[in-house]
Amino acid sequence: MTCPVSNTGPLNAAVAPLEWLLGTWKSAEPGEGTFPNIKPFYYTETLHFTHVGQPIINFMFNAFQVETQKPLHRETGFIRIKPGTNHVAFINAQNSGLVDIEEGDLTDKQLTLQSCALGRISFAKEPSVQQISRVFRLRPDGKLEQTVSMATTNQPLTQHLHITYQRTS
């Protein structure tokens, strides 16, 4: 799947510290999903980080089941940096009906985020997500790593997803 929005215009200086994220990234090998009340699973994922010259980064994530390539989760949103700081906001809408705002810090080539607001559709599947933490890290070998942890109404904060990507554009 190609990204419907590509980079246009010069990168806004406000998001220049996030330039290392820009582009399309595909999973280098299948990612692993685990959680106490589900069977472990493997998935592939494509990430698109783009800009249109505004002081935000746009993103779109598309995950697929490894064997069948059946679509799994989709995420889309924006990343902003508080001017004059390394404080970052990650605004995210998921096809599961979850909307979250995660905030945290950008340190060199690592983005560490914690949910500060969650919303969900009224008929979302239980148990409901109560907290999300996420880390993006650009490794020395040029690969991007993402780890996502979550807490639900019946589980404490636990690692849920881990995947590594290679830049394709």
Could you report the per-residue pLDDT of 31-72, keeping only the tens digit for each?
A: 999 999 899 999 999 999 999 999 999 999 999 999 999 999
Q: Give CATH for domain 13-167.
A: 2.40.128.20
| pLDDT at residue 84 is higher than 50 | yes
SS3 of residue 36 by DSSP: coil
Local confidence band at 3 (pLDDT 50, 70, 90 cut-offs):
very low
pTM higher than the cut 0.85: yes
Q: What angle do CA 148, 157, 119 make, to 5 degrees?
A: 75
Quick count: other Cβ atoms within 10 Å of Cβ 51? 23
User: Domain limits of the chain?
Assistant: 13-167
pLDDT in tens, 128-164: 999 999 999 999 999 999 999 999 999 999 999 999 9
